[in-house]
Structure 1
């Protein structure tokens, strides 16, 4: 009964914090963290022991999956260099640097134990940063980098932590460590891909939304647990499964199924995410009590935490600065790349005009189509790099958004009793996480406003959505063919019905993009034709998503418009 009462109280606190966040502009995780800390210091407050498995096994897989399933693979591909640089290289360098500095300052802490602390505090948590960024309208590419980094840096940090803890008890081998890291990632990618594709296929065969929802809830654990049993990275497996599900689910699941799944996972993400931040704040009193019972003192902990925070910030600024400089050096090459793509496109068109047995054959036509698609994708990538550059101002925001979160504390608690100065390491990790959240999270909105970093202009975005809707409706109308010869699933469509329905399609194209056409009563043929057009529009949209000429925001709005039409037919 007491546990149930505490759970209800926690849910109420989360809801109240969310309301306060919307009224004050402070990110909900920060509000809950402060509430948890304040409540833990109240005399008579019960002890809250945070079990690492609750976070690493119970909360982390669904949180990562809920984020990964919403991140477009196209955006990750376009920023994969910077994401890998920050989520892998920066994590490893930060862990080694923190280990060396802590060992130098506190000789009782071995280098391996210091590296374990470095691995714990190196991964960033993008929850608060993305909440602030979305509210203030950060550019989409900055948001992608933040989310992509937080998806993969947990895996890097946990692998480094496992290697450091193994070195404490069994020695260290660089070759073995590198091999284990590559093996863990490669095997996890394979497991995550298989789980993602298999569950998408299974859910496509189910006609019961309850069963589909049940399967979606177990997907992250289907990926995480086998990967961990195989001594691979369960985190990477979950992320890959989420990315595969989000990418293929766009075409496989119906609009209602996608809407239901999105609502369910947003709810789970909201409750688990914020509940863990509240629980993190509640740990303060127990950590202070453990510190009093150890040989370490609070001033010593604060001094080491301050040193670690400064070191992490300097390293992050340096690594982000490298990417900003590389981005600046790449810009002059974009014109040359565009000209090269134009030359290739002209060559392909010339080959198509000249024809020949190899070109005119079905296989040749397919290959020519693939070539043109790759060229268009290349042009879209160039346009994206030009429209979404990582500038010095954007780099400053990325550098200051390096907040640590619940994974830091949960990973710290996995450090065993055999490690000397364990209490010191755990408390330092907690202070680093809390101070980074409050300091960076509290000042990030001010920094964004001061630097004037903003996203796409709303008028420009509406115009882009209108252009995209125009393109996909035109493609769908052309794919239908002449109105007097339309046959769908063996059913000939009356020309008058086809003409009327295509006129409706014109109204969709000309209507405001933020609302669909008014509902109309449809006969059976009209419904059938509408469904076919919507299917063709979705195919055209999927093609545009593969090419990437339009922004993710425009693609999402257009997809919502198509889904609204499908849901309207269902009603």
Structure 2
């Protein structure tokens, strides 16, 4: 009963603070930490110690899966180099350098123990970076910070595991590298398999509540086997979430996606708030332990302040050259933008000119592309667009196809070859389109000094740091002191950096910033949605599932609703004759075609991810409304 009461009170506090804090202009996580600290020092409240496994195995997999499931994988791919650098290189550098500092200033610990503490305080927290998402900061900055928070836990936990082992036995550098690669690669494999399996199960359930229930299980199904195989369960959960983010629109119904999104949002709110509240509640117990051993808190406070300053300084020193690299990358992208665009036009024209009537790329077409792309202007396209490998493959396969045709293939075999060649021609064009879209993304979302300041200042530590610290063995040297130092770094960066981050973002003029492609992208996506509907409805061969044609009045009615030629009309205004099986069937078929077109646009990356997400959400809402209307009238 007591545990239940504590849980209910904590939930009420989280809900109240989450609702009221934005009105006061304060981030809810900061308020919850302060409330937890205040409550922990109330004499009637006993010292609280939470089992770290509850956080590491019971809470983080769910939270990181939910964050990954809503993460824009298209932007993740584009900035993977920067995200990977901050998630791996920065964590390793910070852990090692802080290890030397800790072994120098903390009595009684060696370099291995220092690196263990350095690994604990090195990773930023994906939960803590949720603060910046509410400020309207540039989307690319949010993507980099959130991606870093999703992946750097694996690096820190593997380093921590190796450092703890090194305090007892000798561990080689290659042993640490091998452990890290195994932990990540095996976890990614498990996460991808579990993610796809979860989507397959949910696709066949056809029940929104059960589908959401399966999504609650998926992160733990990925986490547990990964941990049993000494891989990173956190990475496995994140990989499963990224698979869900990429493929859910193709495999799940709108009802499943909406129910999953709303339920997970509720769980995230409670779990995130509960974690920050728990951080504060543990302070009193940590303080007691340190006072028993050292008699004073000044050593812990001083080392924590030193460590917090060091992590910010090291982060700044790492981000500066990273921004220079990204700036040079953007300059190169600007140089090749016109060349890539011309290369795409040349490719399309020549492939069309030299292809057979059935769309097969002939050897002559491939050789002509080779010649064109070797001229002075096309050389950068040749190198940058990864064209050389594709052209050589086209040459080889085109010649092989010609030989097979000369040997007298059957009509079915020739037809299969033709389909394959047509698909390869489409893939060739698609590669160019995606490359141009990647370049446009880099040009439209530059990362300058202002964005660099936000990236540095938003690198807060959080509950992962505290949970990792509590996994230290009970006989670890100076354990209580190290745990309190970790808490000091986490709480200090969260309160100082998190508390001033809104001011920093506004002062730099980055609050509420939208992409320069926003208006153009909104118009372009509207054209894709409306154009797809027009093309489908104008098709003279349009027919129902049973092969019969649609009534012309139904087609016109759907056209007026979908293409919004009559903005004041919707499904509810249709006459009884029009509200029929034909109307709803054609309406749903049109939505399916529009969704397919948007997913293709997402695959090539032509438009910003946030605009595509909103457009897909609008189609989901339209489909749910149509299905409900059809069910009621049926």
- TM-score norm. by structure 1 comes to 0.95
**Alignment partner, residue 538 of structure 1:** 595
Change (3 A) 1:321 1:2: same
Change (3 A) 1:567 1:466: farther
Change (3 A) 1:26 1:284: same
Shift of 1:270: 0.7
- The yes-or-no answer on 1:565 pairing with 2:626 is no
Change (3 A) 1:545 1:330: same
CA contact (8 A) 2:64 2:126 kept: no
- The yes-or-no answer on 1:519 pairing with 2:561 is no
Unaligned stretches of 5+ residues in structure 2: 363-417, 629-634
CA contact (8 A) 2:536 2:542 kept: no
Q: How many residues align?
A: 566
Alignment of 1:371-390 (within 5 A): 371-390=428-447
Distance 1:446 1:485 in 2: 57
CA contact (8 A) 1:305 1:428 kept: yes
Unaligned stretches of 5+ residues in structure 1: none
Distance 1:211 1:405 in 2: 33
DSSP 3-state at the match of 1:359: coil
CA contact (8 A) 2:561 2:567 kept: no
CA contact (8 A) 1:483 1:499 kept: no
Shift of 1:391: 1.1
DSSP 3-state at the match of 2:562: helix
- The yes-or-no answer on 1:551 pairing with 2:611 is no
Distance 2:567 2:347 in 1: 37
CA contact (8 A) 2:124 2:462 kept: yes
DSSP 3-state at the match of 1:50: coil
**Alignment partner, residue 390 of structure 2:** none
DSSP 3-state at the match of 1:170: coil
Distance 2:317 2:437 in 1: 30
CA contact (8 A) 1:483 1:498 kept: no
Change (3 A) 1:531 1:110: same
CA contact (8 A) 2:300 2:485 kept: yes
**Alignment partner, residue 46 of structure 1:** 46
**Alignment partner, residue 372 of structure 2:** none
CA contact (8 A) 1:324 1:391 kept: yes
Change (3 A) 1:511 1:325: farther
Instruction: Map Cα deviations across residues 172-224 of structure 1 (whole Å, 9 max, x no partner).
Output: 11111111111111111100000001110111011222321221110000000
- TM-score norm. by structure 2 comes to 0.86
Bigger radius of gyration, 1 or 2? 2
Alignment of 1:354-393 (within 5 A): 354-357=353-356, 358-359=360-361, 361-393=418-450
Shift of 1:292: 1.1
Instruction: Map Cα deviations across residues 117-137 of structure 1 (whole Å, 9 max, x no partner).
Output: 011101111434333x23321
Shift of 1:359: 2.6
Q: Alignment RMSD, CA only?
A: 1.9
**Alignment partner, residue 13 of structure 1:** 13
Change (3 A) 1:487 1:158: same
**Alignment partner, residue 397 of structure 1:** 454
Distance 2:263 2:179 in 1: 36
CA contact (8 A) 1:403 1:433 kept: yes
CA contact (8 A) 2:183 2:232 kept: yes
- The yes-or-no answer on 1:352 pairing with 2:409 is no
DSSP 3-state at the match of 2:500: helix
Range 101-110 or range 399-408, more displaced:
101-110
Distance 2:542 2:593 in 1: 17
**Alignment partner, residue 109 of structure 1:** 109
Distance 1:148 1:511 in 2: 40
CA contact (8 A) 1:29 1:277 kept: yes
- The yes-or-no answer on 1:288 pairing with 2:287 is yes
**Alignment partner, residue 445 of structure 1:** 502
CA contact (8 A) 2:457 2:501 kept: yes
Shift of 1:72: 1.4
Alignment of 1:400-479 (within 5 A): 400-457=457-514, 461=518, 464-479=521-536
DSSP 3-state at the match of 1:45: coil
